[in-house]
Amino acid sequence: MPAELVDLNRILLTLARSREFPDGSSRHGYDFIAPLDPEGHIDPILWKKYRDYCRVRRFWAGEDDEVGRLMHKPGGAEHARWVFEYDPGRDDDDEVGYKLGEHAFLPGDYVSISGKDGKLQTFRVISVNPVLLSMALVKSFELEIKV
């Protein structure tokens, strides 16, 4: 595996219980790549170093998957906010994480994300694993691996 991928984690989030989905939904969520610190928080310093690899795949039942990037943008209560950006030329398609800089990504924990419609939804952290390089990973995240 290229040395630069060692610091990255693959995080799977699925829709938590809601009025529409009383049992949650494993068919709605996000699969993303990010560097985490030892406590499980997104590490902004390592993100700067590995930002080209910090990708997200949004999967939503009945819709095509969307691939984008995990971005750290100015604004918000923390003076910066983590967003999933799908089109770098537009801000209206960003999905904003609610205080994602404060949340630890640990299996079983919950995080909230505002979708493109602005509706805040809660997701459960299903898994956090080191990135394992495979052709499926490269394809699903549209990665360009530097060797």
Domain boundaries of the chain, sorted by first residue: 3-140
Q: What is the pLDDT of residue 80?
A: 65
Q: What is the pLDDT of residue 69?
A: 95
Q: What is the pLDDT of residue 134?
A: 72
Query: What does R_g of the chain's alpha carbons equal in angstroms?
Result: 15
Q: What is the pLDDT of residue 21?
A: 93
Residue stretches of the chain with pLDDT short of 50: 1, 3
Q: What is the pLDDT of residue 1?
A: 44
Q: What is the pLDDT of residue 2?
A: 53
Q: What is the pLDDT of residue 146?
A: 61
Phi/psi class of residue 79: alpha, beta or left (left: φ > 0; alpha: ψ in -120 to 50)?
left
Phi/psi for 125 (5° steps) reads -75, 115
d(CA 147, CA 145): 6
